[in-house]
Amino acid sequence: MFKHIIQNEEDLRALHTPPSRGAANKVITTIDEHCQSFIAQSPMLFLATSNSEGKCDNSPRGDHTGFVHIIDEHYLVIPERPGNRRLDSLSNILSNPQVGLLFIIPGLGETLRINGKATIIQDKDILDKMAINGKAPLLGIAVKAEECFIHCPNSFNRSSLWKPEEWEVKENLPAPAKIISAHIEMNTEKL
C-alpha cells in the first residue's frame, strides 16, 4: 500500500533538524511544584496504555478540577471511576505497567505529559481522599513519574480546539449513539 516507509531512526532524523536546546532539555524526572500546579488545575487527562503484546489503548479520565491526587514529587494517583466496565486500561497495566498521561486545562494550549510506571491500588486511606459525595473510588491507578514535561500548544492552535466560534455546528457532528449501535450490530452479525 505505501511505497516510502521510514524504517530506522537515522533516516527519520535526516528529515528533521535537531530539537532546540529548550526542547531537548525540558524533561524532568519528578512532579515538581510547576507540574503539581498544572495537575491541580486539570479536570481532564488521557491515559495511554498497552498490553504485553503492544496493543494500545488511550482512555480519557475526567472529573472535577484537580481530581488527581498527588502524593509527592514521585507519585500521583488517578481515581478509577465507574465507566464502561471493559477494564481495558487496567488490564493493560497488569501486563505492562508503562503508561503515558496527557493532562489538559481547558483554554490552555500547552499540555503536561507524564510518563511512568503504573500500579493498581486499593489503599483505603488514599482512595478516601478522592471521594465524591462520600463515595471513594474502588481502585486507583498510582503512577511513579519517570518523565514530566510541558508539550507545546501547536496542535491545539492548529485545531482551534479552544475556539468555540470555529467549532462545527452541532447538527453536523457525528451521532455517537448511531455509531455505537452500528458497531454493536456489526459485531452481533459476526456471531
Q: How far apart (Å, rounded) are the C-alpha atoms in residues 73 and 31? A: 4
pLDDT for 186: 86
Task: Name which of 118, 119, 113, 139 is nearest 128 in CA terms.
Answer: 139
Write the pLDDT tens digit of every residue in 64-86.
999 999 999 999 999 999 888 88
Write the pLDDT tens digit of every residue in 123-134.
999 999 999 999
| pLDDT tens, residue order, the chain (191 aa) | 999 999 999 999 999 999 889 888 999 999 999 999 999 999 999 999 999 999 999 999 999 999 999 999 999 999 999 888 889 999 999 999 999 999 999 999 999 999 999 999 999 999 999 999 999 999 999 999 999 999 999 999 999 999 999 999 888 899 888 888 989 888 887 66
Quote the radius of gyration of the chain (alpha carbons, Å): 19
Give CA separation, 4 vs 1, 9, 10, 13, 138, in Å.
10, 15, 15, 15, 48
Q: How far apart (Å, rounded) are the C-alpha atoms in residues 142 and 51? A: 17
Domains and CATH numbers, the chain: 20-161 (2.30.110.10)
